[in-house]
Amino acid sequence: MQNRPQSSASYLGIGSTLEIEPIPHGIKGKTENGFFQITVLNPHILRIQASKSDFFYPNPYSVLKVDTESDFQLNETQTGITLSTTQIKLEVTLSPFACTFYDKNGNILNQDDPLGISWIGTEVSCYKKVQKEEKFIALGEKTGNLNRVGQAYTNWNTDYFAYGTGDDPLYMSIPFYIGIHEKGAYGIYFDNTHKSVFNFGASTNRFMYFSAEDGEMDYYFIHDQDIAGIISKYSDLTGKMQLPPLWSLGYQQCRYSYYPESEVKTLAQTFRDKDMPADVIYLDIHHMEEYKVFTFDGKKFPDPKSLIQFLKSKGFRVVVIMDPGIKVDEKYQPYLEGKSAGLFVKYPDGDEYQGQVWPGWCAFPDFTNPKTRQWWAEKMKFYTEAGVDGFWTDMNEPASWGQFTPNVIEFDFEGEEVSHRKARNIYGMQMARSAQEGSIYQNQNLRPFVLTRSGFAGIQRYAAAWTGDNVASEEHMLAGVRLVNSLGLSGVPFCGFDVGGFAGEASKSLYARWMSIGAFTPLFRAHSMINTKDAEPWAFGEEVEEISRNYIKLRYKLLPTIYSKFFESSQNGLPINSSLAISYSLDPKIYQTAYQNQFLFCDRFLVAPVESTKEITKIYLPEGTWYSLYSDEFFTGENEIYIDCPLNYLPVFVKSGSIFGMQSERSNTSEIHDGILHLHVYCSNQAGAYLHYEDDGESMGYLKEEYFMREITYSPQQMSMTIGPVEGNRNSSYKKIRVYLHGFQTDVVSLNGQSFSLENENYAFLEKLTEFDPLPEHEHPFYEIKALPFLEIDHIYEPIILSGLF
């Protein structure tokens, strides 16, 4: 019997190594069935590439240009070769080609299965052994549990209205995951824009694997000593968010849709009349004429410039929606311009691709073409001249009726010319990029705000993200928390969900609870669908209105801490909402379904989301000690506790040793505060720190050191607090600090070497003793406050007042 030729649809392993040679930043070689290259980017990151050809076609969009590392060691072994940095040792087995990654102490972090890198037709895969008790987290906007063991996920950006809490795929794809086991942790970013799959043990007990339907095996192996370090190193690869404008951290109100302009004015005035802080109002698709982008409906919005001026006089910023579909209309200037310049997606024979969306039959700008991005930036002048502040890129998967875009259509892809199969996942990211670049192009010195529904790895460089068309249900509320936490694990700090639910109608209790959770979310936006009941904070009765007002006001009081944390995240890539897996990755309880929704907000506040139907809930407090935010009740960590959670009480705890700043009430972020920074310090046997950061909140001046920054630290050894020297060239907006002390038991204050007894809860003398002139210069001296007391009077914490430190 003759042997049958191998089918192109059967397994083809990369095979044994035939040739290998060193290169300046790693090694490369040839195998029986392919080629490989291993590059050392730095001691923490190695890049593994494999292809059937000897030429690689990398994704030009996600990974920033990074310096490569030449300081590594190569050694031959009996079975292969080892490549070592100060942090990682990679052992490459030559027959067959396979990779095993070790930490600097010799512990196995990650290891190829014998099936290794392989192909089935055009599909390329990498099979990995699963380490003992290994857990898998991150992967971006994915539903399901925090620990993704036993599940498989597809990366294919999809318009999914009213998706289920376990459905996949959704709008955004980030092919990056973190593996955690008792010997260490690592991250893998698979840089392939084709439809891909990550299988963490679904339907198999042999391995986990990641694969793409086409393209190359191109992944980055990342290792650091903790999860935070891995996320930060990943963001070094794919970029960090820019510091957003301060107003985008306030409360945002959206509906599909607010119109005509009289309704928008009434909405704005009602916020102010009801003493309800808010900063942003959105204009959805009904602001446009026949849903055509770069238009205003002349009947609904006869004078948009005047409307926006009115809103700004009330302290509101305006964000408009931009959909990619350009209506096929020979009288519509954007369509004529794009068609004549060849800026739209085409079929291989040159015909223009058209799909149906809101305006009807539409052409789609090819945002993978630099000329298209520049054209879009120029067209945005229409909005910026009217006074629009921010841009909401929606329907950018790209979405079209029928939800089945033909793969045959072609995209420029920075000159490579590829099909929809390779370009789809990157399309939304490049539209968001175009919007950001257009905002900067039109408003030279103002920070852009772009909100996107679709994206890919690196989207954080261009836009904030929200989790799409969710549903008004208890399950969606909690699933949204996990989605935001997972995006944070995947390098996207600025993200949120539609508070109250987009599809359907929230009950009174659900809306109230969702508002309280939203106050502890990076993007705080409420959004509801057309043909549903009103869903503003006052639309559910007096009780819900009061609860909403209280939590929105708390959000605004916490803005000094939130804004400072955003600055830190713009520097290190770490999330605002941090899954407990970051700080407590080896604690098995945090992965349990009962506790997996809990997270740290701004590193200090442990938030325990809970259904609105519950009045008591079980919470897990991890290692350390904790205080109730509302009562200062003290709890020991590594314990499960029961907590009352009536509708007006979202369980929130403060980590001991924390320091955070608060300010006076404000109706919007442009309103002037009272000049007092309220500084809260929590007693602990662990050191704590708070990096206080300020700038003008809107310009690019902070890039030129036009900011005010200083670190405030707490030392348990000396029982002292130190307010460090000023950095930056800007004066603080605060003239006075009030220090609130939680958990301390002494009644003596030592200030600048002098001790004072605190008697009769009267601190007026402290103001007199600390009447220093503000000293913004860099050589500002240190000030210490030792043995800080905690005093409680009717549950109101009396402050110590320190004048002149700012």
For the annotated catalytic residues, the residue numbers are: 394, 397, 469
Structure tokens belonging to residue 805: 């430190």
Q: Which of 524, 494, 526 is nearest to 511 (CA)?
A: 526
Q: Which of 439, 387, 153, 194 is nearest to 281 (CA)?
A: 387
Contact 431, 61 (CB under 8 A): no
For 281, 364, 400, 498, 797, the CA distances from 360, given in Å and listed in that order, are 27, 12, 10, 27, 60
Contact 12, 124 (CB under 8 A): no
Contact 379, 441 (CB under 8 A): no
Cα Rg, the chain, nearest whole Å? 28
For 243, 272, 440, 635, the CA distances from 700, given in Å and listed in that order, are 9, 30, 10, 43
Q: 31-49 burial, b if ≥16 CB within 10 A, otherwise e?
A: bebbbbbbbbbbbbbbbbb
Which helix (H) or strand (E) covers residue 442, if one does?
A: helix 420-442
Contact 176, 142 (CB under 8 A): no
Contact 638, 623 (CB under 8 A): yes
Q: Which residue has the tokens 């770490």?
A: 574
For 43, 318, 451, 509, the CA distances from 548, given in Å and listed in that order, are 48, 22, 23, 11
Structure tokens belonging to residue 444: 């030279």
First vs last Cα of the chain: how many Å apart? 89
In what order do the strands lie in the sheet containing 326-327?
326-327, 360-363, 354-357
Amino acid letter for position 577? N
- Beta strand residue intervals within 202-278, DSSP E: 208-212, 217-222, 252-255
Q: Which of 374, 370, 401 is nearest to 291 (CA)?
A: 401
Residue 434, classed as helix, strand or coil, is helix
Q: Which of 117, 230, 119, 226 is nearest to 176 (CA)?
A: 230
Q: 794-806 burial, b if ≥16 CB within 10 A, otherwise e?
A: eeeebbbebbebb
Contact 220, 47 (CB under 8 A): yes
Our CA dihedral for 524, 530, 531, 532, rounded to 10 degrees, sits at: -10
Contact 679, 737 (CB under 8 A): yes
Which residues are 189's β-sheet partners?
176, 220
Q: Which of 100, 38, 97 is nearest to 72 (CA)?
A: 38
Distance of CA 451 to the CA centre of its chain: 11
